[in-house]
Amino acid sequence: MGEQAPLPASRGAFIPPVVWDDDPESDGFTPVSLHREPARWHALVDADEPVVTQVADGEPGGDARTPTSSCSKPSLVAEMLDALDLRPGLRVLEIGTGTGWNAALLRDRVGPHGQVTSVEIDPGLAARARDVLAATGRDVDVITGDGAAGHPSGAPYDRVIATASARTVPRAWIEQTRVGGLVLLPWGTGYGEDALTRLEVRPDGSATGRCGTRLSFMRLRQQRRHRLEPDEDELRAARRSSTALRGPELYEVVEFSRAAFTIGLRVPHCHLTVEDRDERHRDVELHDRRTGSWARVGMIRDEHPWPVLQLGPRELWNEVEAAHAWWRDAGRPTPDRCTLTVHPDGTHRISTGRHRWPLEL
């Protein structure tokens, strides 16, 4: 009798018995146990939404406001797998095993003659994924290690897919992919959300491709975004001004499909956060931990102009206003008009058609 084919890779089989749900009271996450709250657990897992499976890197007593691993939204997973153009027999490298569900789907698509290698930096997550994949009949080589380094002993790969976002595309991913192969990842700057980006590896060792769908993935650990929280003394000493931008323009500044993605390409090392303090007050903040620079625009409904506070050597809000003006004058390019090229020396260059420039990452 031949080997029995594995059952379809149901997401629920890969999700741990404790997941994390939004907790409005703490502005963080609260645990949801399959054993204590089965209906709530299943509602989270069965929805077409991401499920947070780890907070604070799994450290007991860590900051439950910080999600550090998740199982992605099923419809988005399907879109990424389609973009990867998988076929039977291909060799695939996955960066970020997480629950192992995506690796199982990859394995099913490349078939018995294909190969899937998945790298996970968290030893506990890697061990659990390895066990679940084996239990569901998926032959996936799960490696515990830093995914930014890829897995050179299994190269060359036909496809590399990252389930963590990156600001700088690691050279290892390109070097370990055959010429004509694809590297698919959520890519973007520190500012705002990322774009699903598919790079094709060229004979000269570069990789190039168009940016696309909006994504919100957790970052590679060594490339995580960080925010600054000025204390009261720093706020009192902040430089004060106001912005002439009004509501529609502020929307463009923070919205991925408008100016936000391009602003990130023009203003390096700048992390954007938006927080609604109540129904009338919204804070748009900019953070650069490298230089200790910070800015806040305090939006107040039915009032204008809005106050601006800035700290540190960079005038971050001035830089963002200038980038917004550039975006407007350049014809309001959308993310899908942006092409990223990563050169063999590691230089990242962006093109919007008429305009090209190197990125400071």
Q: Which residues pair with 306 in a beta bridge?
A: 243
Whether the pLDDT of residue 4 is over 60: the answer is no
Radius of gyration of the chain (CA): 22
> Which of 49, 71, 93 is where one domain is finished?
71
Same domain, 32 and 159: no
Quickly state the pLDDT bin for 309 (edges 50, 70, 90): very high
Last residue of a domain, one of 195, 222, 249: 222
- Examine the domain organization and report whether 101 and 202 are in the same domain: yes
Terminal CA-CA length for the chain = 56
In a domain, 339, yes or no: no
> How many C-beta neighbours within 10 Å does residue 27 have?
10
For residue 288, report the phi and psi dihedrals to the nearest 5 degrees: -135, 95
How many Cα atoms within 13 Å fall on the side-chain side of residue 310? 16
User: 241 and 321: one domain?
Assistant: yes
Residue 303 forms part of a structural domain: yes
Domain span including residue 180: 74-222
Q: Is the pLDDT of residue 2 over 50?
A: no
* pLDDT tens profile 64-121: 888 999 999 999 999 999 999 999 999 999 999 999 999 999 999 999 999 999 999 9
196 within domain boundaries:
yes
**pLDDT in the model for residue 9:** 74
Q: Helices in 136-246 by DSSP H: which ranges?
A: 171-175, 232-237
Question: Taking 50 as the threshold, does the pLDDT of residue 281 lie above it?
Answer: yes
Number of Cβ within a 10 Å radius of residue 278: 7
Instruction: Determine the average pLDDT of the residues in 266-294.
Output: 96
- Active site residue: 26, 33, 69, 72, which one? 72
Q: Are 338 and 266 in contact (CB under 8 A)?
A: no
| Higher pLDDT pick, 214 / 23 | 214
Q: Which residues pair with 54 in a beta bridge?
A: 69
Strand locations in 122-280 (E): 141-144, 157-162, 177-187, 194-201, 207-215, 239-243, 271-276
| Domain contains 352 | no
Q: Is 347 within a domain?
A: no
Could you write out the DSSP letters of every residue in 245-262?
--HHHHHHHH-IIIIIHH
pLDDT over 90 for what percent of the chain? 89
| Burial (CB count within 10 angstroms: exposed 0-12, middle 13-18, buried 19+), residue 106 | buried
Minimum mean pLDDT range among 59-73, 100-114, 320-334, 342-356: 59-73
* Last residue within a domain, chosen from 30, 49, 71: 71
CATH of the domain at 171: 3.40.50.150
Residues found in the chain = 361
Q: Are residues 156 and 277 in the same domain?
A: no
Judgement on whether residues 151 and 134 belong to the same structural domain of the protein: yes
Same domain, 211 and 243: no
The tally of domains found in the chain comes to 3
Bond before 156 cis per omega within 30 degrees: yes
Q: What is the mean pLDDT of residues 196-209?
A: 98
pLDDT at 54 over 50: yes
| In the predicted structure, residue 1 carries a pLDDT above the cut 70 | no
Do 109 and 235 lie in a common domain? no
Are residue 81 and residue 64 in the same domain, yes or no?
Answer: no
Q: d(Cα 198, Cα 79) in Å, to the nearest integer?
A: 12
Does 87 reside within a domain?
yes
Instruction: Check if the beta carbon of residue 166 is closer than 8 Å to that of residue 147.
Output: no
Residue 358 included in any domain: no
Question: C-alpha angle with apex 303: 317 to 274, nearest 5 degrees?
Answer: 45
- Lowest-confidence range among 22-31, 170-179, 189-198, 281-290? 22-31
The verdict on 300 and 242 lying in the same domain is yes
What is the arithmetic mean of pLDDT over 142-163? 97
- Residue that the structure tokens 């309001």 belong to: 332
- Same domain (yes/no): 60, 93: no
Say if 181 falls within a structural domain. yes
Q: At what angle do helices 123-135 and 101-110 cross, to 10 degrees?
A: 50
Same domain, 317 and 178: no
| Catalytic status, residue 118 | no
The confidence score (pLDDT) of residue 244 equals 95
C-alpha distances in Å from residue 139, one per residue of 74, 136, 163: 22, 9, 19
Clarify whether residues 24 and 83 are in a common domain.
Answer: no
